[in-house]
Amino acid sequence: MGRKLTGRLIVATHNLGKLREIRELVAPHGVDAVSAGDLGLPEPEETGTTFLANARLKAEAAAMAAKLPALADDSGICVAALDGAPGIYSARWGGPKKDFAAAMEKIEAELRERDCFEPQQRRAWFVSALSLVWPDGHVEEIEGRIDGTLVWPPRGDKGFGYDPMFLPDGHTRTFGEMTSEEKHGIPADGSQALSHRARAFQILEKSCF
């Protein structure tokens, strides 16, 4: 059984794009979401070897520091032809300045080095691990995934990170070309959401919101 969340929630991220999406996801539940950055909480070093481990690390640090429940996301893009890279190191591929335009160029260069030009050679998937931690140590966590293909050049100026080069299966527009609601809005009829983060949250909300 999950534990219901009420009152205030720390969103354990300093990533403004991620913060915006998580706030939009929790908004229908009347939760007061405040970011770790707003509270001046430091970003812990991500030393985990999996998305879930890093998400829990961030959520635990925020929950213990603020004495409030904390929700953290660790997410990234995995490219089949690059043996799953950049994976948990997706943010680091953007360098100290989190330059995702450069990170996308790096992925494209790696694919070209491997002569990966056809769609079937450019398969990729986004992963989002959500960890919700209470100050007493109780943890609820889930992982979501969306598969697709990488396009070049990148398309669209919406979203953030690698969104402009990711074309989800069954769609003709990249995440970078979709509105926030199209990308991660949870359908009212209960059908599966589109984005990796929304898919993970859709499962988490059934037990915690």
Q: Quick: pLDDT tens for 136-163.
A: 999 999 999 999 999 999 999 998 999 9
In the residue annotation, 74 being an active-site residue is answered as: yes
Report the DSSP pairing between strands 8-11 and 70-79.
parallel
Comparing 135 with 7, the larger pLDDT belongs to 135
CB 174 within 8 A of CB 167: yes
pLDDT of residue 169: 98
Confidence of residue 1 (pLDDT cuts 50, 70, 90): low
pTM of the model: 0.94
Residue 87 and residue 78: Cα distance in Å, rounded? 5
8-208 is a CATH 3.90.950.10 domain: yes
The residue annotated as part of the active site, out of 73, 74, 115, 189, is 74
Is residue 76 predicted with pLDDT exceeding 80? yes
Rounded to an integer, the average pLDDT of 169-182 is 96
Task: Name the phi and psi angles at 80, rounded to 5.
Answer: -60, -45
> What amino acid is encoded at 154 in this protein?
P
Domain ranges of the chain: 8-208
CA distances from 186 to 15, 40, 62, 130, 202 (A): 21, 31, 26, 16, 7
